[in-house]
Amino acid sequence: MVNSRFTNLIDLNDMSSEWWLNVVKRASDICDDPAKYAKVCDGKIMATLFYEPSTRTQMSFQTAMLRLGGTIIGFDNPATSSVAKGENLKDTTKIVSSYADIMVMRHPSEGAAKAAALTADCPIINAGDGSHLHPTQTLTDMLTLYREKGRLENLTIGLCGDLKNGRTVHSMCKALSSFKGIKFVFISTKELGMPQYIKDILMAKNCQFSEDPSLEDAIGNLDMLYMTRVQKERFASEEEYLALKDAYILDKRKLNKAKSDCIVLHPLPRVDEITMDVDDDPRAMFFKQAKYGMYVRMALIMTILENPNESRPLLTGSTYPSVACGNPNCITHKEGYLPKYFRGLGDMLECEYCDERRLGN
């Protein structure tokens, strides 16, 4: 077992659902009276290390900290940092975390935030690790549901688009399946389907889900439709991306088949999957959702900095020094010094960084 000395947010499921709800309720309070919180992080420094492009996540974290009275350091282009000289993830994150009180990190490899947390000197927040997870987007989505639907229970939620590579939908399924009466409808092509490990988590929690390749057929039953972008950067070739990129497009005509109180979310950026004639529909919530992201990150930063030293388990399984993770994009392949940890699952081993499964040996 390897523990961290800090209150990290790597995966929402490392925390309790009460903890998430406290963050969401606090964020809702901030929405109503942001001025009350203007000084709560006075003198604190947040580092944002973005190894991958971002607009909303990065800027909403930065403005969140500035609105709380704190300050920010960081990079949004590793090419202008020592990463370009070949510095490894451990050294960069170890040093930056010794300068800051809290560190937010986005990285193209699955498991990178957990890898950084093994040696960091302050709490780490995962702002997206490859195709794996995006816990702060899920907190944003929960706040949107809480404010716009008034509940996080008894909802039929359609997830549409690239469910294979989209980290936002993976985090959402893992978290929302903890609430009563949540039903998911996975709307995707076979190639872009939800990974089996997420479906297994839902089954273990008795959370209902169904699959429907047709957005038009599914839309009428939904309380919330979550559209996602086909994740171009995760495809092996341009041809494969082009063949799938326009598989699902929400336009006004399709939206007319939805319930009058079905809200439409999208983590953004959108490419072509929602036409602009949808933007002015009162059910289109994606711009509001992006603003909620700032408030939820204010609540999250405050919550972690109030209690930054809650020790948490990071690696709970066993080391298998000679076993390689089957996912070529797992951080353990890029950063060879990382201890290889797997959880045993019958005759399978599950990588503790990226959750990829392989046959044990």
Summarize as ranges the residues that interact with ligand NCD (CB under 6 A): 56-57, 128, 134, 137, 167-168, 229, 267-268
Here the tokens at position 348 are 């399978």
Q: Whose Cβ is closer to ligand NCD: residue 4's or residue 48's?
A: 48
The answer to whether 232 and 192 have CB atoms below 8 angstroms apart is no
CB of 153 to ligand NCD, least distance (A): 25
Q: Give the shortest CB-151-to-ligand NCD separation in angstroms.
A: 23
Nearer to ligand NCD, 179 or 226 (CB): 226
Among residues 139, 175, 243, which one has the least CA distance to residue 13? 175
Q: What is the C-alpha to C-alpha distance for residues 52 and 43, in angstroms, rounded to an integer?
A: 28
Lateral strand order in the sheet of 348-351: 318-319, 341-345, 348-351, 357-359
Angle between helices 56-67 and 135-148 (to 10 degrees): 70
Nearest-approach distance from CB 230 to ligand NCD, in angstroms: 9
**DSSP state at residue 152:** S
* H or E, element range at 208: strand 208-211
Q: How far is the CB of 347 from ligand NCD (least distance, A)?
A: 33
Q: Give min distance, CB of 358 to ligand NCD, in A.
A: 25
Closest approach of ligand NCD to the CB of residue 313, in Å: 26
Q: How far apart are CA 113 and CA 312, in angstroms?
A: 14
Give whole-number Cα distances, 44 to 73, 204, 320, in Å.
Answer: 11, 41, 39
Q: Round to whole Å and give the CA distance between 102 and 298.
A: 13
List all residues 6 or more positions away from 341 whose beta carbon is below 8 Å from its beta carbon.
2, 315, 317, 318, 319, 320, 351, 352, 353
Q: Which is nearer to ligand NCD, 118 or 172 (CB)?
A: 172
In the complex, what is the shortest distance from the CB of residue 125 to ligand NCD, in angstroms, rounded to a whole number? 13
CA angle in degrees (0–180, nearest 5) for 201-205-206? 115
Cβ burial, residue 33 (10 Å; 0-12/13-18/19+)? exposed
Q: What is d(CA 4, CA 75) in angstroms, rounded to the nearest whole number?
A: 24
Residue closer to ligand NCD by CB (options 67, 167) is: 167
CB nearer ligand NCD, residue 162 or residue 350: 162
Residue whose CB is less far from ligand NCD, 118 or 298: 298
Least distance from C-beta 241 to ligand NCD, angstroms? 13
Please name the amino acid found at residue 5.
R
